[in-house]
Structure formats: C-alpha cells, structure tokens
C-alpha cells in the first residue's frame, strides 16, 4: 500500500518579492467551527521571510510560492489528530504555476503504483476547486487521504492530510472507513463555509 506522503517539503527563504504581506486574511480560517468538534491546535504562521516550499511533481521538484501561510493540526480535544492543514496564499503572479505543481504532485502520487492507481477526485463548490486522493481502506500507516482546495480568486491553497487512527486508542475520531468518509466530508463542507465568510 502506497503512502500519501510527498517528498519532504522544504521551506525556502528568499529576498523580498513584488508582493508583500498585508493584513492577516488567513487567520480566521484557524478558528473555523466544525460540527464534529475539531479544533486547530499546534498552529503557527509561516515566518515572513519564508517564500517557497518544494513539491515533487511528475517532472521532478518544483517550488510553490508562499506570500503567507499557516500550519495547523485538527484534533478532538481528547482524541488523536484528525488532519494536518497547510493554509497558504500564493504570490499572485505565480498562483497558476503553483496550482499546477500541486496537482502534478497529486497525479504523481495517484499513479505511483501503476498496478493499483488511486482515483483523483475533483469537483467545484461555491467557486472552490476540490481535488482529493483517498486510500481504499484504513490499512495505511500514514495519511489515508490528501485533499487540495483552490480559491482562484484570492490565490489561496489549502492542503489537508487526513490521518489514520491507531486502533484501540482512546478517543478515536473514527472507527471504520464509513465513519472517516462522513467526517472528512463534513470537515471539508464546514471549512468551505468558513472560506465563504471571508469574502
């Protein structure tokens, strides 16, 4: 079973680019309210000097621009972690290339095993593109799903790694594949609602 774990994402500090940070528009997304009780913990804003991260695409490593961004983990107050979040804002002039690099990285993961390819799901809701990869079961030790959300209007990219739960651990967020899928879908729907409130 292949793991939905890309090569190490390197954060790179660069000289000041054309666009600079203004305000903190991504911050309210950390306080999104979820029906399943998740809260964003271990949250951190990227240092302003960090301007890129690396992804491995079908054509090799590519850099994705970072005008701003947060890292956070979603978890129940008394449970294992449910998802890792990367909430990012691209440099406007590089957004299209950033989006294609991330989608190419997902295609690379989807077809990493040519004998057992994963289906790359995609849909659009309220102007937000949603692309997802799901493991067929809960046997993977690492992430069991990877979703990328693209807001073309604001050049926002959210990457969500949904994490497996250790069987028998106290306070599990889900206990079977169906429960996971239901919580995954509710989490994404709630997050999209929070994005809409920021417009």
Model pLDDT for residues 150-179, shown as the tens digit of each residue:
999 999 999 999 998 766 555 667 889 999
Which is more confidently placed, 100 or 39?
Answer: 100
pTM of the model: 0.87
Question: Which residues lie closer than 8 Å to 169 by C-beta, 6 or more apart?
Answer: 80
The reported pLDDT for the residue numbered 16 is 45
* Helix (H) or strand (E) segment spanning residue 129: strand 128-134
Whether the per-residue pLDDT at 189 is higher than 60: the answer is yes
Asked whether the beta carbons of 101 and 57 are under 8 A apart, the reply is: yes
Work out the average pLDDT over 95-103.
Answer: 98
Residues β-bridged to residue 159: 86, 148
Whether the per-residue pLDDT at 111 is higher than 80: the answer is yes
Work out the average pLDDT over 61-87.
Answer: 91
Mean pLDDT of the chain: 88
When pLDDT is cut at 50, 70 and 90, the band that residue 17 belongs to is very low
Asked whether the beta carbons of 68 and 96 are under 8 A apart, the reply is: no
The reported pLDDT for the residue numbered 1 is 40
User: CA–CA separation, 197 vs 28, rounded Å?
Assistant: 9
């Amino acid at each position: 079973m292949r793991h939905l774990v890309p090569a190490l994402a390197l954060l790179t500090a660069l000289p000041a680019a054309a666009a600079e940070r203004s305000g903190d528009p991504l911050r309210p997304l950390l306080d999104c309210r979820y029906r399943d009780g998740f809260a964003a913990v271990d949250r951190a804003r990227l240092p302003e000097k960090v301007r890129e991260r690396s992804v491995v695409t079908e054509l090799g490593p590519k850099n994705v621009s970072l005008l701003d961004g947060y890292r956070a983990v979603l978890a129940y107050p008394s449970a294992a972690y449910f998802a890792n979040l990367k909430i990012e804002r691209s440099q406007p002039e590089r957004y299209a290339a950033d989006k294609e690099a991330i989608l190419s990285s997902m295609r690379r993961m989807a077809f990493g095993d040519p004998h057992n390819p994963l289906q790359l799901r995609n849909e659009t809701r309220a102007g937000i593109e949603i692309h997802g990869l799901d493991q067929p079961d809960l046997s993977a030790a690492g992430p069991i799903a990877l979703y990328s959300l693209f807001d073309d209007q604001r050049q926002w990219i959210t990457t969500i790694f949904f994490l497996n739960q250790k069987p028998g651990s106290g306070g599990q967020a889900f206990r079977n594949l169906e429960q996971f899928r239901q919580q995954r879908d509710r989490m994404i729907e709630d997050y999209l609602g929070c994005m809409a409130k920021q417009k």
